[in-house]
Amino acid sequence: MPEITCHQGHTMRVSTDQWVETLTLDQMRYARDKMAEKIKAAEAQPKRSVWRVCRGGLAEGNYREEDFEKAADHLLLTS
C-alpha cells in the first residue's frame, strides 16, 4: 500500500486508487509506461511448474519444478 508523506514528515498509508488521484497527468503517463515495462518483463520470464500432491481434495504438499522426484515419492507414499 503506498505511503504519502506531507511537508511536515507525517506519513499516511493510502489505497492505490487514492494515490493515483494525487498524480499529475505526466506522472500518470510515466507510471503507466513504467508499469508496462515491468509487466512485459514479468511475462517474459520462464514459467515454472509446481507439483502439488493432493489426497481427497486436500493439498498435502507443493514441490518446485526441480523437486519432481520428491513429489513422486510423496505421491507413492500416500497411495
User: Per residue in 13-72, pLDDT tens?
Assistant: 888 888 888 899 999 999 999 999 999 999 999 988 888 998 888 889 999 989 989 999
Q: What does the pLDDT read at residue 27? A: 95
Question: Mean of the pLDDT values across residues 5-10?
Answer: 83
Instruction: Indicate the number of domains in the chain.
Output: 2
pLDDT at 79 (0 to 100): 65
pTM greater than the 0.85 cutoff: no
The answer on 24 and 55 residing in a single domain is no
Give the pLDDT score at 40: 97
55, 40: one domain:
no
Domain of residue 73 covers: 48-79
Residue 55 sits in the same domain as residue 78: yes
38 and 8 housed in the same domain? yes
Same domain, 75 and 53: yes
14 contact partners, CB below 8 Å, separation of at least 6: 1, 2, 3, 4
Domain shared by 39 and 9, yes or no:
yes
